[in-house]
């Protein structure tokens, strides 16, 4: 089932920008950084924005996406731990998402709500996500929402880096990084690094094929663990182009392999779905 509803409001976009800015500012204040007096301009490359607009047009026909729900089969591999099962992935504007894996070894869940998040494993112990792992896009599994967020967020610098053949084919390489005002030079550089995402578009179809970013240990923002999301088998369903194969690599090793069986778009998922549970365990 595929459904359309109303476009996201301006208030949603403003809230998204404010919450992410607040999270980063609080994080770096806790590190003892002092605001810089000089302001650095956010550069939003017109060619990059044109490519993003073309990609959104290909994905959605320029109809805004408010939320998306994917039902999938799932294969999870972490070292010698190989599990299978199903998954449900829900994303909404305002940097809200849920990834729930119902696997043979138990339930694994991650929830993002703006600048904060929580995760739990098969033991059901809830851990708070570190703020430095909440600065990249929460809707990593649904490209239309990711691109909409980038297009609407004035704190994101966007660049077109040209054709790139590093992924095995020549793709169009975009890079995105957050730039917040009022931070020291060191804090500005760290925020930019933590929020950087690389997007690779098919030059013929404009569809996103790869999304790269880094995650980090909860206790160490300076150690980068590369994540790569690969999108494949795009299918047209009631006007939406949706990738039915989503693979997530961690440190260049396949971690999660998803095959989408059903998609709901703009079904009216409420914000209350993304309320964070109270943490019952320390960060790991």
Tokens representing residue 141 in the block: 């599994």
* Domains identified in the chain and CATH numbers: 10-34+45-269 (2.50.20.10)
Interval 169-179 mean pLDDT: 96
CA distance linking residue 123 with residue 280, whole number of Å: 11
- Specify the pTM: 0.86
Per-residue pLDDT, 99: 98
Task: Provide CB contacts within 8 A for 40, sequence distance 6+.
Answer: 179, 181, 188
**What average pLDDT score do residues 99-127 get?**
96
Residues with Cβ within 8 Å of 161's Cβ and at least 6 positions away in sequence, in order, are 173, 174, 175
- pLDDT at residue 39, rounded to an integer: 58
Q: 66: buried, middle or exposed (CB in 10 Å: 19+, 13-18, 0-12)?
A: buried
Q: How many CA atoms lie within 13 A of 257 on its CB side?
A: 9
pLDDT band at 16 (very low <50, low <70, confident <90, very high): very low
CA-CA distance, 141 to 127, in Å (whole number)?
22
Residues 21-46: b if buried by 16+ CB within 10 A, e if exposed: bebbbebbeeeebeeeeeeeebebbe
Q: Which of 105-109, 119-123, 163-167, 188-192 has the lowest mean pLDDT?
A: 188-192
The more confidently predicted of residues 3 and 104 is: 104
pLDDT band at 17 (very low <50, low <70, confident <90, very high): very low
Q: What is the pLDDT of residue 108?
A: 97
Q: What's the pLDDT score for residue 282? A: 59
pLDDT value of residue 49: 98
Tell me the average pLDDT of the chain: 87
Taking CA atoms, 277 is separated from 19, 26, 114, 117, 126, in Å, by 18, 21, 14, 9, 7
Residue-wise pLDDT for 177-193, tens only, equals: 998 877 888 888 999 99
**203-254 pLDDT tens trace:** 999 999 999 999 999 899 999 999 999 999 999 877 889 999 999 999 999 9
pLDDT at 184: 86
Per-residue pLDDT band at 22 (split at 50, 70, 90) = very low
Name the pLDDT band for 194 (thresholds 50, 70, 90).
very high
pLDDT above 90 covers a percentage of the chain that reads 76
Average pLDDT for residues 107-113, to the nearest whole number?
97
């Amino acid at each position: 089932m595929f459904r359309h509803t109303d476009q996201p409001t301006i208030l949603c976009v403003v809230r998204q920008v404010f919450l992410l800015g607040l999270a980063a500012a609080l994080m770096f204040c806790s590190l003892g950084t002092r605001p810089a007096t000089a302001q650095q301009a956010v550069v939003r490359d017109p060619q990059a924005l044109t490519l993003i607009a073309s990609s959104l047009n290909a994905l959605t026909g320029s109809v805004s996406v408010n939320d998306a729900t994917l039902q999938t089969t799932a294969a999870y591999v972490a070292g010698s731990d190989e599990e299978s099962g199903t998954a449900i992935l829900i994303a909404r504007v305002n940097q809200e998402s849920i990834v729930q894996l119902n696997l043979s070894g138990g339930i694994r869940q991650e929830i993002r709500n703006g600048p904060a998040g929580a995760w739990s494993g098969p033991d059901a112990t809830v851990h708070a996500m570190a703020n430095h792992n909440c600065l990249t896009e929460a809707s990593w599994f649904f490209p239309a929402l990711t691109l909409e967020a980038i297009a609407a967020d004035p704190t994101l610098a966007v660049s077109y880096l040209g054709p790139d053949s590093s992924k095995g084919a020549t793709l169009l390489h975009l890079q995105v990084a957050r730039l917040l005002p009022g931070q020291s030079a060191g804090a500005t550089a760290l925020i930019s690094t933590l929020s950087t995402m690389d997007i690779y578009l098919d030059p013929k179809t404009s569809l996103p094929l790869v999304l790269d970013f880094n995650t980090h240990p909860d206790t160490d923002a300076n150690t980068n663990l590369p994540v790569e999301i690969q999108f494949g088998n795009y299918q047209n369903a009631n006007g939406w182009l949706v990738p039915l194969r989503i693979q997530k690599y961690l440190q260049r090793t396949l971690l999660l392999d998803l095959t989408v069986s059903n998609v709901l778009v703009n079904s009216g998922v409420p914000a209350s779905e993304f309320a964070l549970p109270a943490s019952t365990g320390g960060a790991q």
